[in-house]
Amino acid sequence: MARGLVLCSQTRTIAKLSFFLPYPKLWFKPHCHHHPCYGPQNIPSARVFCHCVSSQTLNLVDMAKYNEAFSRRMAMAGIKHHNRIALGVSGGPDSMALCVLAASWKTEGLYGFDNSGKFIDGLFAIIVDHGLRSESKDEASLVGNRVSEMGIRCKIVRCDWLNGKPKQGHLQESARDMRYKIFQDVCMQNQISVLLVAHHADDQAELFILRSSRDSGVLGLAGMAFTSQVFSSHTNFCNNDWKNHSVLLVRPLLDFSKEDMYKICQGSNRGWVEDPTNRSPLFARNRIRASLGNLLSGTFNSELQAVISVCRRTRIYVDQICNSLIKQSITVMDQGFAVINLKTLNPSKIEDICLSKFITLVLQFVSQRQRPIRGSTSKLLLQYIRTIPCKTSLTAAGCYICPAPGSKGFKALVCCSVDCPLPSNAESFHTFSNVEEKHCFSDELEQIIANGKSYSNNNLVTNSSQAQFLDMRSQSVLDEARRLDVISESTHRNIISLQREEVSHFKSKTDEVASGCESKQGTEHIAAFLSEPLLPGQTCYFMNRFIISWKLSKEISSNWFRGEPLSLSYLEGDDHCCCVNEDEMVAKVRTTIDADWLYLAKLTKLPHSDNFEATRLPLTGKITCSDYSRLSAKVALKTLKSIPVAARKSIPVLVDDHGRLLSIPSIGFKHCPCMKASAVFKPRVPLGGGHSSFL
């Protein structure tokens, strides 16, 4: 490790550096621009640890101003001082500034340190060691020590790349996905409902340029949400109810600039980490960041943020309209499909952008695919939903859409298409034991969201005249912003130049990325229907949609048949119970196939008596498995008639090791009366995508 003191004349700071180098005598000469410690040249391969102190005095930085702004944003999010909070910490100036502000805010008033007197109560930092470089473990440890010195308890988690480390072209995206998965897992393990991350105004500016170069619409140009509800891959059983665990992701620094991050670290005398990979031109954000750094005009920065602000206001309006449409026109059925009342919806009266977002939310809910719907697919869906009465069907975004039976085309049925591959980040099957129940802390999150909504209600956009850029793509947004004097001619010209520069990089990689995605989806389509054994008493989450469980019992009570509960401790003849006393029996879960309905119909045609009492065995009043399955199939087929044919294929069934049908819980069929099975439609992400705010 090399150490040194470097005087940076442009920012008038003294930077104390310590960084890992492969050759101990190699010195690093910084070039000061926005970063007081180094510039784009001579970047070392490892992170640089910086500790900057103003050459004047620390109190030149108005920390009270930053603390007040941070406190205001926390109130806007609905977060109170007593709430448990996690911080996503990389060690860079952004996350270290977040630690400084969060620690100061958390210790305000009556809330201070825990019983040990060492750590701030209710504040928890999560440091992710991506394990992509040999020195990353030592770096994460050093960052952890610095965070602990601030009185913040922390946890370091190392990434486990089960399928190998990501390739260079997908490095940042893969690392981000892994990082947020770890954040969610750690939050759940520690019963934390709020996660703060350190995205700031400069990050929003980078994202605006990136998305505009991809010809994004006004909703994409609105950038990152201030708050958003992120749903984890885990589901908890709490208070006799299944609840999906979610975390409120909050970005309280979106009003702060990158320069503010450095000032906060300097004003609090805190060091940070500079990661050289953030300067690599291989990544789009890095290229845009470097280009934005050359535009030193404060006018450019403020006007760019003004455009983003207008886009966010439009996003608020569209979200309000969509929430209202969902409440008025959508009916969600227990079997996992949705019905759109087209008469109530009245799509001819709705702007394209609102209607497109509405149908996207419905399809994402039914399929649980959270990919955005773009291009020709979006146009096709708009055309379909505007055609009343609807007479055709189509498959899009993992869903099958068709006229609802008996509606004469004035209602549209949306059901999951099992023939479509699941998204790349989907977990098609997750099992866990009932005894592993976690303490339920969703009530706290619900209160935080309610607090945030009460603030948001004061900032509603009540009509389209208050929302600009409706149904515009990026170029039109910029032209309209120029016409409305939101931006000047020079800012307009600079943004267009940045767009074109990034477009040239983007087009060269489009074919490569597309071919990679196509190959990956093909594999997942096959894996989506592979089923793991499900033991009695266990529970599984199937296709992110159904919570399925089953168990055995010798005491059976049926809601379908008249009479007292039946005891199956004794059965006569060749017919015997295939479940009782089979300790090693397992079930597998899959979606339904046509053979399942044919099998039910075949069961109902077995010899039987119209009088149920005649099916009981003499003297004992007991019933055989074959009689029970016949009667169960008869009742199930009646229920099946109420479910549209298109929706039946996504209903889960339980089969044994040999593929024989055991139960279809959604329609009440089970082969043996001693088997108790259930399938509850509980999508991981709720209709509407959960709470979000673009304030």
CATH 3.40.50.620 domain span(s) along the chain: 61-109+118-163+171-200+216-279+458-471
CATH code of 61-109+118-163+171-200+216-279+458-471, in short, is 3.40.50.620
Give the contacts of 531 (CB within 8 A, at least 6 positions apart): 429, 588, 589, 590
Q: 135 or 507, which is more confident?
A: 135
Predicted confidence at residue 239, as pLDDT, reads 44
Predicted confidence at residue 134, as pLDDT, reads 83
What is the average pLDDT across 200-206?
97
Q: 523 or 658, which is more confident?
A: 658
| Contact call for residues 221 and 210 (beta carbons, < 8 A) | no
Token duo for residue 191:
């019963």
Predicted confidence at residue 181, as pLDDT, reads 92
Confidence of residue 173 (pLDDT cuts 50, 70, 90): confident
Burial class (CB in 10 A: 0-12, 13-18, 19+), 328: exposed
- Which residue in 187, 193, 202, 204 sits closest to 77, CA to CA? 193
Bridge partners, 429 (sequence order):
542
Count of Cβ atoms closer than 10 Å to residue 154 Cβ: 22
Residue % of the chain over a pLDDT of 90: 53
Least confident of 147-156, 262-271, 286-295: 286-295
Residue 133 above 90 pLDDT? no
What is the average pLDDT across 681-687?
92
Predicted confidence at residue 583, as pLDDT, reads 60
Cis peptide before 347, with omega less than 30 degrees from 0? no
Predicted confidence at residue 576, as pLDDT, reads 47
- Which residue in 103, 97, 102, 101 sits closest to 261, CA to CA? 97
For residue 680, the one-letter residue type is V
What is the average pLDDT across 317-328?
96
pLDDT tens string 379-420 = 999 999 999 999 999 999 999 999 999 999 999 999 998 776
Predicted confidence at residue 276, as pLDDT, reads 73
pLDDT tens string 637-664 = 999 988 999 999 999 999 988 888 999 9
Residue 106 above 60 pLDDT? yes
Predicted structure pTM score: 0.84
Predicted confidence at residue 109, as pLDDT, reads 63
Q: Give the C-alpha separation, 355 to 343, whole Å.
A: 14
Confidence of residue 41 (pLDDT cuts 50, 70, 90): very low
221-259 exposure pattern, b = at least 16 Cβ within 10 A, e = fewer = bbbbbbbbbbbbbbbbbbeeeebbbbbbbbbbbbbbbbe
Q: Give the C-alpha separation, 443 to 128, whole Å.
A: 28
Give the contacts of 574 (CB within 8 A, at least 6 positions apart): none
| Contact call for residues 396 and 381 (beta carbons, < 8 A) | yes
How many Å is the maximal CA-CA distance in the chain? 101
Least confident of 193-207, 263-277, 552-566: 552-566
Mean pLDDT of the chain: 80
Residue 122 above 70 pLDDT? yes
Predicted confidence at residue 436, as pLDDT, reads 41
| Sole residue written with tokens 């509960």 | 565
What distances in angstroms separate CA 15 from CA 24, 29, 35, 50, 171, one per listed residue? 19, 12, 11, 6, 30
Q: Give the C-alpha separation, 36 to 667, whole Å.
A: 66
Predicted confidence at residue 192, as pLDDT, reads 95
pLDDT tens string 451-490 = 999 888 877 777 888 899 998 999 999 999 999 999 999 9
| Contact call for residues 502 and 390 (beta carbons, < 8 A) | no
pLDDT tens string 572-615 = 444 445 555 556 678 899 999 999 999 999 998 877 544 444 34
Length of the chain: 695
Confidence of residue 323 (pLDDT cuts 50, 70, 90): very high
Counting DSSP H helices and E strands in the chain, the numbers are 19, 26
Give the contacts of 190 (CB within 8 A, at least 6 positions apart): 84, 86, 124
Residue % of the chain over a pLDDT of 70: 75
- Which residue in 32, 5, 57 sits closest to 267, CA to CA? 57
